[in-house]
Amino acid sequence: GIIKHNTDGSLVHRRLRLPSACVSGGVNLWSILSANIGKDLSKVAMPVQLNEPVNTLQRLCEEMEYCHLLDTAAQTQDPHMRMVYIAAFAVSMYACTFTRAGKKPFNPVLGETYECEHPDKGFRFISEQVSHHPPVSACHCESKNFTLWQDVRWRNKFWGKSMEIVPMGTTHIVLPCFGDHYEMNRVTSCIHNILSGQRWIEHYGEMTIKNNATAEDTIICKVTFLKSKARSLNTNDVEAVVTDSEGHVIHSLFGKWNEALYLGDPPLAICIWRTNPMPEDYEQYYGFTQFTVELNELNESMKSFLPPTDTRFRPDQRLLEEGDIAGAEEQKERIESVQRERRRILQESNMTHTPRFFKWSEDDSWISNGTYWQLREDPGFRNLEFPVLW
């Protein structure tokens, strides 16, 4: 591993790989899917072998890997160029999915939380599972240069050979130094060859990025994720145009969401963003990037600060990470029944669940209630009560 400095000057260990490689084989997805035809798949408990050792709360944090683009945007005077960096960031959010078509993330239990302080990237991030059916994960990320929040809600459509994931919800990015407030939608993701052959993932559709701060002088960026005709043809291409308030094209961009994004026209185009190199042996380790490998690491020094609801304490995900499939499956089933029991008690007393760190806002999104980091410091999560999730 490597040793890095925390914001408070303390040292933190960062591992370079997961404790165990992915154990392959063993699940017959076809028998699961055919037994549940017509059902909402999010209501079917899947075998743990289908999972990778990160959950959807951590997946949201993965999307921050290239947040230096937001820092650059916050240092760019020209509003059209600022939009270029925001668009590059929006495309970069999909990069990590390229090597990840084989497995699905863990579905967090209701009330599960995750935090990530990233001193070298200058942000701190929190997320919480705010709804179980349908599954909704909300997050909030802040640094001196930007604030980002979003929640992930989706519908899936199973087409036999492939599965489409249609996302809902809006991603918000605020740059306080300019008063910018960008809003963008997500595009559709599709997992091909879900039952046989090589699984691969594709993203397609149009994303519109708008800066809400400037109502009458709107700069818009339209990002198109192109659908490929065949696996090898123009795969993963994206195109984007930034237009001014009169609709004139000011900038155009092209590239691939799994590789790089360029500004201008070839051969004079300049590279705005490129993916980081993958770690050695990444195929054996769930296709994780170095950034992802670190997300579920549990350091001794963190244990006293984290709330007991933090994903790092979730036993089934930890056991899967360590390569113990049988143990992970046993724990997954146990945790699911604990959750059902909590739900039953709530229903019997005619109560509904209230998220701890997020609240529903009028503008149709989950936003932070602003208490997490404050409570973490004083009185500290050790001195607060939490439900027993596992």
CB of 98 to ligand PIF, least distance (A): 13
Q: By CB under 6 A, is residue 2 in contact with ligand PIF?
A: no
For the chain, how many residues are written? 390
| 3 state SS of 381 | helix
Distance CA 121, CA 15 (A): 17
Within 13 Å of residue 357, how many CA atoms lie on the same side as its CB? 29
153 within 8 A of 167, measured Cβ to Cβ: yes
CA torsion 1-89-182-123 (nearest 10°) is 10
Specify the pairing of strand 180-184 against strand 270-274. unpaired
Binding ligand PIF (rule: CB under 6 A), the pick from 43, 144, 155, 303 is 43
Binding mask 225-264 for ligand PIF (x = CB under 6 A): ----------------------------------------
Please tell me whether residue 333 binds ligand PIF under the rule CB under 6 A.
Answer: no
- Shortest distance, CB of residue 180 to ligand PIF, whole angstroms? 31
Cα distance from N-terminal residue to C-terminal residue, the chain: 29
339 binds ligand PIF, rule: CB under 6 A: yes
In the bound complex, what is the minimum distance in angstroms from residue 40's beta carbon to ligand PIF? 8
Toward ligand PIF, which CB reaches closer, 156 or 214?
156
CA angle 237, 290, 174 (to 5 degrees): 65
**Nearest residue to ligand PIF on Cβ basis:** 107
Instruction: Please give the Cα distance from 299 to 214 (Å, whole number).
Output: 44
Size of the site for ligand PIF (CB under 6 A): 19
* Percentage helix, strand, coil for the chain under 3-state DSSP, each rounded to 5: 25, 30, 45
Told to check if 340 binds ligand PIF by CB under 6 A, we report yes
**Binding of ligand PIF by 44 (CB under 6 A):** yes
The amino acid that residue 150 corresponds to is: Q
H helices, E strands: number in the chain: 9, 20
Binding mask 106-135 for ligand PIF (x = CB under 6 A): -x---------------------------x
One symbol per residue from 70 to 109: x for binding ligand PIF (CB under 6 A), - otherwise; what is it?
A: ---------------------------------xxx-x--
Which of 50, 168, 298, 325 contacts ligand PIF by CB under 6 A?
50
The neighbour count for residue 135, using CB atoms within 10 Å, is 17
Q: What single-letter DSSP state applies at residue 174?
A: E
Binding flag, residue 161, ligand PIF (CB under 6 A): no
Query: According to CB under 6 A, which residues from 271 to 330 bind ligand PIF?
Result: none
We find the least distance from the C-beta atom of residue 42 to ligand PIF, in angstroms, to be: 4
Rounded to whole angstroms, the Cα distance separating 199 from 176 reads 41
What minimum distance in Å lies between the beta carbon of 336 and ligand PIF?
4
Instruction: Return residues touching ligand PIF (CB under 6 A).
Output: 41-46, 50, 56, 103-105, 107, 135, 156, 165, 191, 336, 339-340
